[in-house]
Amino acid sequence: MKNYVIGLDYGSDSVRAVLIDTENGQELASDVCHYKRWGNKEYCNASINQFRQHPLDHIEGLESTIKAVVAAGKVDPSQIKSICIDTTGSSPIPVTADGTPLALTKGFEHNPNAMMVLWKDHTAINEANEINELSANWGGENFTKYEGGIYSSEWFWAKILHVAREDEAVKNAAHTWMEHCDLMTYLLIDDKDLKSFKRSRCAAGHKAMWHEDWNGLPPVEFLEKLDPYLATLRGNLYDETYTSDVVAGNLNQEWATRLGLTTDTIIAVGTFDAHSGAVGAKIDENTLVRVMGTSTCDILVSTKEIIGTKTVKGICGQVDGSVIPGYIGLEAGQSAFGDVLAWFKETLSWPLDNLVYTSNLLSDEQKVQLKAEVESNFIKTLTQQAEAIPLSESIPTALDWVNGRRTPDANQGLKSAISNISLGTKAPHLFKALINSICFGSKKIVDRFEEEGVRIDSVIGIGGVARKSPFIMQTLANVLNKPIKVAASDQAPALGAAIYAAVAAGIYPNVIEASKKMGSDFESEYFPESDKIEAYQELMDSYSDLAQFIESITK
């Protein structure tokens, strides 16, 4: 009898489920659900970088996508052996003593502080600065050392501290906080003991300063110097963490009934999207897997023997087992990648939104048609025209920091800048400059890994941009001066989660064996164009100069 597993992947805007045949990784069915409240921009305020998501968006998405794949796959529920969930991160959410997300309790239904604080929320810049200041100067261990030496406002403790200070009611009502991947896993399992619940090693190690060297989370003595609340909270968090090849529990009766599954289905420990994406794309030693979508996550694995006690400066952490159990997983990334281009598109759309689509000269039907046509041609036409501009022509220099800099050397307070604009600069020139900027930001990350002695033998691209924009991928291959393979799977993170699920269910002995059999093949490869390398190097020098200048004048 065949065995099947489900991978559930929570992205920034939507959640997708895939039903996978464990024998060969074949996808029998997939389904996507866009978050309703998030889509209406509820509970968010981009002007202060506040991005919150209502847990109902996640719960509704879980139910609809899993039901859809179970129905479409037409397999017997008893053959669905296990489920693993990956989510964005660090995306913490406050919960009550019985593990209920606070936003689902009376009085907190519409309070953004009671909701999930999405990874790209940067309201906690001051708190991250405080953590960095204290870590460096308190006279004890620097707990940021395995997280690149700089704690980011995108991460667990900074976000919790910010919300707790801003909202007394949430602070008092929250018994504990969970990463999104842990909460969704906890929701599904039968054992509701919060204290013994198996939290994700990946989330804890990369974002919450959990490390074996100091027996888990930073100690009370350190946390109470930040805020007594964090010291108290620590008692309601966790000591141990687990990799995603481990069973978190069995599916509980309530959710088995809701999903049309049985309580024999195993739920694996949760993880982050980028890390599971790397597994879905068959990551191997010294392979850099770049998840290129709204942001980028750059994932590498290396052996404990090679990394040893060495700490890699300015990245988002090195964690034992965060990608492949038994190996050190290293993470870096850019806070905006596709989002840089999305920002430009939105900016250019102002006259359309305010003058064209509101005009009385067009009927409602014409407006809908026009909008659809513009939408399908916008990025396509800009890309074609940007691609046609020769590198010998004057191209502006831009920085990719529209959402701050995640790595190398996190500084979420940085903002973007564009220089070298003339009367001859048109939208496609700016678009080309922005594409260059996201590729140069990528090169800074690759350079940092290599400077720190982490070898990169090959590069794999996954995610929306990797599959949809050959121009960006070619530019990136030229800028990195390395070939880049693109994974064929549209759903590499969900596939990676399915691979973890298969190992947790005992179908494969380990993640490496499972990913060899179930991981995605490659659909294309981009090679550096030797005649363009030098020109890109010159443009990269201008990027570095501008970056240095902007950083020097940023307070």
CB of 197 to ligand ADP, least distance (A): 27
CB of 14 to ligand ADP, least distance (A): 7
Nearer to ligand ADP, 315 or 341 (CB): 341
- Which residue's entry shows tokens 């020769």? 390
- Print the binding letters for residues 257-296 with ligand ADP: x by CB under 6 A, - otherwise: ------------------------------------xx--
Q: Which of 3, 13, 126, 532 binds ligand ADP (CB under 6 A)?
A: 13
| Residue 302 contacts residue 327 (beta carbons within 8 Å) | yes
Site for ligand ADP in 328-357 (CB under 6 A): 338-339, 341-342
How many chain residues bind ligand ADP (CB under 6 A)?
16
Nearer to ligand ADP, 468 or 532 (CB): 468
Handedness of CA 141, 145, 146, 149 (dihedral sign): positive
Tokens standing for 446? 């690759």
The 3-state DSSP class for residue 550 equals: helix
- Interaction between residue 89 and ligand HMS (CB under 6 A): yes
- What span, in angstroms and rounded, lies between the C-alpha atoms of 186 and 420? 52
* Backbone angle region of 240, left / alpha / beta, with phi > 0 → left and psi within -120 to 50 → alpha: beta
| Residue 95 contacts residue 101 (beta carbons within 8 Å) | yes
Out of ligand HMS, ligand ADP, none, which partner does residue 119 contact, by CB within 5 to 8 A per kind? Answer: ligand HMS
Handedness of CA 40, 203, 205, 274 (dihedral sign): negative
Segment interacting with ligand HMS, rule: CB under 6 A, options 101-109, 133-141, 268-276, 450-458: 268-276
Tokens standing for 308? 């040893």
Site for ligand ADP in 353-412 (CB under 6 A): 379
- What span, in angstroms and rounded, lies between the C-alpha atoms of 120 and 112? 15
Segment interacting with ligand HMS, rule: CB under 6 A, options 252-260, 272-280, 499-507, 528-536: 272-280
- Interaction between residue 468 and ligand ADP (CB under 6 A): yes
CB of 257 to ligand HMS, least distance (A): 31
Out of ligand HMS, ligand ADP, none, which partner does residue 342 contact, by CB within 5 to 8 A per kind? Answer: ligand ADP
| Residue 27 contacts residue 495 (beta carbons within 8 Å) | yes
Nearer to ligand ADP, 116 or 503 (CB): 116
How many chain residues bind ligand HMS (CB under 6 A)?
16
Cβ burial of 502 (10 Å; 0-12, 13-18, 19+) is buried
Segment interacting with ligand HMS, rule: CB under 6 A, options 189-197, 256-264, 271-279, 346-354: 271-279
Out of ligand ADP, ligand HMS, none, which partner does residue 274 contact, by CB within 5 to 8 A per kind? Answer: ligand HMS
Segment interacting with ligand HMS, rule: CB under 6 A, options 158-166, 294-302, 418-426, 516-524: 294-302
Out of ligand HMS, ligand ADP, none, which partner does residue 341 contact, by CB within 5 to 8 A per kind? Answer: ligand ADP
DSSP letters for 155-166:
SHHHHHHHHHHH
Q: Which of 112, 463, 496, 528 binds ligand ADP (CB under 6 A)?
A: 463
Q: Which of 5, 9, 12, 73 binds ligand HMS (CB under 6 A)?
A: 12
What is the DSSP code (8-state) at residue 197?
-
Out of ligand ADP, ligand HMS, none, which partner does residue 379 contact, by CB within 5 to 8 A per kind? Answer: ligand ADP
**Closest to 188 in 3D by CA, of 254, 281, 246:** 254
Q: Which of 128, 187, 233, 291 binds ligand HMS (CB under 6 A)?
A: 291
CB of 196 to ligand ADP, least distance (A): 32
**Closest to 94 in 3D by CA, of 121, 123, 116:** 116
Segment interacting with ligand HMS, rule: CB under 6 A, options 61-69, 130-138, 291-299, 530-538: 291-299
Q: Which residues neighbour 368 within 8 Å (Cβ) at sequence distance 6 or greater?
A: none
Site for ligand HMS in 105-164 (CB under 6 A): 119
Q: Which of 5, 8, 10, 12 binds ligand ADP (CB under 6 A)?
A: 12
- Interaction between residue 469 and ligand ADP (CB under 6 A): yes
Nearer to ligand HMS, 295 or 542 (CB): 295
Q: Which of 144, 295, 322, 436 binds ligand HMS (CB under 6 A)?
A: 295
Q: Which residues neighbour 323 within 8 Å (Cβ) at sequence distance 6 or greater?
A: 202, 275, 278, 279, 283, 299, 301, 329
**Closest to 298 in 3D by CA, of 428, 148, 78, 77:** 148
Q: Which residues neighbour 118 within 8 Å (Cβ) at sequence distance 6 or greater?
A: 12, 51, 52, 53, 88, 91
- What span, in angstroms and rounded, lies between the C-alpha atoms of 302 and 485? 20
- Interaction between residue 314 and ligand HMS (CB under 6 A): no
Element (H, E) at 266: strand 266-268
CB of 92 to ligand HMS, least distance (A): 12
What is the DSSP code (8-state) at residue 103?
G
Greatest CA separation for the chain: 69
The 3-state DSSP class for residue 334 equals: strand
What number of other Cβ atoms are within 10 A of residue 141's Cβ? 15
User: Can you give the binding site for ligand HMS, defined by CB under 6 A?
Assistant: 11-12, 88-89, 119, 206, 272-274, 291, 293-295, 297, 331, 333
Binding site for ligand ADP (CB under 6 A): 11-13, 293-294, 338-339, 341-342, 379, 463-465, 468-469, 472
